Amino acid sequence: MNLAEMGTPDLVGMLLGFALTLMVFSYAFGDNALFRLTIHLFIGVAAGYAAVVAWYNVVWPQLLLPIISGSQSERLFVLFPLVLSGLLIFKASPRLSRIGNPAIAYLVGVGVAAAIGGAVMGTIFPQVLASINLFDADTIRQSGESPLLMLLQGVMILIGTLTSLIYFHFGVKPKLGGTPRRPEWMEVIALIGQVFIAITLGAVFAGVLTACLVALIERVYFIGDIIFPLFTAP
């Protein structure tokens, strides 16, 4: 990296990234003002970026533009979200916050419906279909792998799926004079599901840790590309 051949904008951006990287790494010596300043800058930039994206992708084209230059039907269509947005303003006042409850209720309802729909259509159904396909003879034949190995994989995935779901079964009635407890056979199955869940969480953690290490190595190389030329330049 030759700093002399870089343009002014690239040079300023690189030096700014170098300074911010060192400020983040300063957290290794404990919480300090430089690290907090970097975090505040990151949060501020992220909030500003989100506000700009919301304005140009949601507020202006889908709310204000139809009101200004849209047809009568389009104006009536955006009237409902406009009223709900206005009700949200009342949440800033403790005395008038109840007026904004319908808007909050609508947001929570839509959010829960989207989350449940996404979980069912994006996770449960694909997981069930994928587990079924592992026992399909045509799928095993087209894969070109050993049928015994494919069958073993299917059995393991099926056991992991069922035992993990049973682990989250909490519909247990309390016994007389005792605490709620699942039957013994369900406790054994739940224990197997707990093992599968622990393996899954371990794999997820390993993936996150690997991504963090990759980012750390990239930043270390970035610092080295800036510092080393300063000492090796003729």
Domain boundary among 54, 70, 86: 70
- Using only C-alpha atoms, what is the Rg of the chain? 28
- Would residue 138 count as lying in a domain? no
Do residues 126 and 181 both lie within one domain?
A: no
Nearest to 91 by CA among 82, 80, 81, 104: 104
Do residues 38 and 110 both lie within one domain?
A: no
Band of the pLDDT at 49, cuts 50, 70, 90?
Answer: very high
Domain boundary among 50, 70, 90: 70
Do residues 121 and 87 both lie within one domain?
A: yes
Do residues 59 and 15 both lie within one domain?
A: yes
Share of the chain above pLDDT 70, in %: 91
Do residues 95 and 161 both lie within one domain?
A: no
pLDDT value, residue 171: 65
**47 burial class (0-12, 13-18, 19+ CB within 10 angstroms)?**
exposed
Domain boundary among 30, 52, 70: 70
Digit-coded pLDDT (tens) for 50-87: 999 999 998 888 888 888 888 888 888 888 888 888 89
| Token representation of residue 58 | 């949601």
Number of structural domains, the chain? 3
Do residues 147 and 234 both lie within one domain?
A: yes
Do residues 89 and 162 both lie within one domain?
A: no
Digit-coded pLDDT (tens) for 158-217: 888 889 888 887 766 666 656 667 777 888 888 999 999 999 999 999 999 999 999 999
pLDDT value, residue 146: 77
- Would residue 18 count as lying in a domain? yes
User: How does 132-163 read in b/e, with b if 16+ C-beta sit within 10 Å?
Assistant: eebeeeeebeeeeeeeeebeeebeebeebbeb
In which element (H, E) is residue 160 found?
Answer: helix 147-167
- Domain of residue 92: give its range: 78-133
- Would residue 53 count as lying in a domain? yes
Crossing angle of the two packed helices 184-232 and 147-167, in degrees rounded to 10: 100
Do residues 204 and 222 both lie within one domain?
A: yes
Share of the chain above pLDDT 90, in %: 32
Do residues 172 and 221 both lie within one domain?
A: yes
- Would residue 85 count as lying in a domain? yes
Do residues 93 and 149 both lie within one domain?
A: no
- Would residue 184 count as lying in a domain? yes
Residue with the larger pLDDT of the pair 114 and 140:
114
Do residues 232 and 151 both lie within one domain?
A: yes
Nearest to 36 by CA among 22, 24, 49: 24
pLDDT value, residue 167: 87
- Would residue 198 count as lying in a domain? yes
- Would residue 66 count as lying in a domain? yes
pLDDT value, residue 185: 82
Do residues 65 and 90 both lie within one domain?
A: no
Band of the pLDDT at 2, cuts 50, 70, 90?
Answer: low
